Amino acid sequence: MGDDHLRMMNYRYPIFLASNAIFSLLLTSCSKQEIPINAHAAQDEPIRISVIDILIKKMMSDRQIPGLSLGVVKEGKTILQRAYGLADVEARTPAKVETIYPLASVSKIFTSVAVMRVVESGGLSLDDKIVRLLPGLPSVWGEITVRHLLSHTSGLPDVVVRDDPMEFLGETRQEALRKVAAIPLQSRPGETYRYIQTGYMLLGMILEQHSGKKFPAVMQEQLFGPLSMTSTRYGDARRDINGQASHYTMLRPDRDGKWMRLGRPEPIAVYWPDYEYPGAGLNSTVGDLARWEAALEPGRLLKLSSLETMWTATEESRVAQGRAFGTGCGWLIGEEAGHKWVGQVGGDSAAFLRFPDDHLTVIVLDNCRGSDVLSIALGVSKCIISGTDKNK
């Protein structure tokens, strides 16, 4: 999974450059079309909705994305929620802002916040050895810490064998844990960044051990319930989630494992065993993620110091990802035109990007793997930030 994650990031790079060109053209041609969203937006923050609409429709057409839902939060207020296209192509069901999408690896930011809350309460330390927290783990894992799990620097093998079709080391956590324990460490703990799912499986176990409850119940009690995230839940294609979009793909791996682009979207079913929910099994809406964004203000869920810890990239991750991105504790960290962002991208179809210095968050959820969702989110952010800069 780690290698596949980097391959997909590398695959997206040429598309990302193209999206920058599209954005520049649209921004030039539509710069005078400022349409306020509501009275508050008209007074304080004129947003070029027409530019955003054109940008998204252009990208959806070029990349054959069936459906997409968008949310934008600025200065603590939801200033834009829109949906485009179809949630289900076969049934001709329109996408809505209430449509539920799989978040894939965006799930990790929720698990990381839950872990940091336990750290703040004194229940554990980021530097605790996981063999102390989870008795029975292999002694060779003795130097691996909670911080290593969060930052993908544990050196552990991956429980995911391949992405397409999804294949795991085991159907159950017990089986997967037994098999991964039989594989040698890929590197010394803390030495190398490698994106894997194993670490978040173990983080889920640590949260269960601390609380005495199953992982989904922990997250519901600690986060989703208090934040009124009523459409957010764990599950995959085997669970019938009312209001969820059908999923498609524009990418398939070839015989060498390199991602190739298809001629048109194909239906795809995404499966995650229960033990992988902490890293990839969450489903949500743009509305619920806007509530999540509000809770990330310092002092609500976490102290500022804890947020800064999550949002500080490790040097190992910067080296592994060509310094275009870094990874902190469950969060990607990047910069666009001098504006820092933190967030996560999942399944190449879900993006949650937060620009702390600009008090801006962009949420893009679509139903097509291979959409290059990161560039869509960055394009929307440029529409808003450029307008804000010009109004200063």
User: Which three-class secondary structure string do you get for 116-169?
Assistant: HHHHHHCCCCCCCEHHHHCCCCCHHHCCCEHHHHHHCCCCCCCCEEEECCEEEC
- Residue 324's CB is within 10 A of a number of other CB atoms, namely 12
**Contacts for 21 with CB less than 8 Å, ≥ 6 apart:** none
Domain 112-221 has CATH 3.40.50.980: no
Q: Tell me the average pLDDT across 9-37.
A: 40
DSSP of 28-69 = HHTTT--B-SSHHHHHH---BHHHHHHHHHHHHHHHT--EEE
Tokens 């097509």, residue?
Answer: 368
User: CA dist 60 to 12, 35, 64, 319, Å?
Assistant: 15, 22, 5, 32
Q: How far is CA 180 from the centre of its chain?
A: 25
Q: Tell me: the pLDDT tens digits for 314-342?
A: 999 988 877 678 999 999 999 988 999 99
Q: Tell me the average pLDDT across 255-274.
A: 86
Query: Tell me, what's the pLDDT at 196?
Result: 94
CA angle 263, 89, 268 (to 5 degrees): 60
| Per-residue pLDDT at 371 exceeds 50 | yes
Which residue type sits at 228?
Answer: S
DSSP of 274-318 = GGGHHHH-EEE-HHHHHHHHHHTSTTTSS-HHHHHHHTS--HHHH
Q: Is the peptide bond before 265 cis (omega within 30 degrees of 0)?
A: no
Q: Tell me: the pLDDT tens digits for 59-76?
A: 999 999 999 999 999 999
The rounded mean pLDDT for the chain is: 87
The answer to whether 93 and 66 are in contact (CB under 8 A) is no
Q: Which of 9-23, 236-250, 259-273 has the lowest mean pLDDT?
A: 9-23
The answer to whether 176 and 170 are in contact (CB under 8 A) is yes
| Per-residue pLDDT at 132 exceeds 60 | yes
Query: Tell me, what's the pLDDT at 391?
Result: 52
- Residue 229's CB is within 10 A of a number of other CB atoms, namely 23
Query: Tell me, what's the pLDDT at 40?
Result: 32
| 267: phi then psi, degrees, rounded to nearest 5 | -60, 145
Query: Tell me, what's the pLDDT at 251?
Result: 87
The residue ranges of every structural domain in the chain are 2-105+231-274+285-391, 112-221
Q: Tell me: the pLDDT tens digits for 32-59?
A: 333 223 223 333 344 567 889 999 999 9
Residue 13 pLDDT level (bands cut at 50, 70, 90): very low
Residue 161 pLDDT level (bands cut at 50, 70, 90): confident
Alpha carbons 93 and 243: distance in angstroms, whole number:
10
Which residue type sits at 247?
Answer: H
What is the percent of the chain where pLDDT is above 90? 72
CATH number of 2-105+231-274+285-391: 3.40.710.10
Query: Tell me, what's the pLDDT at 254?
Result: 81
Query: Tell me, what's the pLDDT at 255?
Result: 78
What sign does the CA torsion over 233, 237, 240, 242 have? positive
Q: Tell me: the pLDDT tens digits for 222-253?
A: 999 999 999 999 998 777 788 899 999 998 88
- Hey, do 2-105+231-274+285-391 and 112-221 end up sharing a CATH topology, with the first three levels equal? yes
The answer to whether 327 and 319 are in contact (CB under 8 A) is no
Q: Which of 22-31, 47-56, 200-209, 313-322 has the lowest mean pLDDT?
A: 22-31
Residues in the chain: 392
Q: Tell me the average pLDDT across 187-212.
A: 96
| Per-residue pLDDT at 303 exceeds 80 | yes
Q: Count CA atoms within 13 Å of residue 241 on its CB side.
A: 24
CA dihedral of 363, 368, 371, 376, whole degrees rounded to 10: -20
Alpha carbons 152 and 201: distance in angstroms, whole number:
12
Q: Tell me: the pLDDT tens digits for 74-109?
A: 999 999 999 999 999 999 999 999 999 999 999 999
> In this predicted model, which residue has the larger pLDDT, 3 or 199?
199
Give pTM, 2 decimals.
0.89
Strand-pair category, 259-267 with 166-168: unpaired
Q: How far is CA 321 from the centre of its chain?
A: 16
- Residue 195's CB is within 10 A of a number of other CB atoms, namely 19
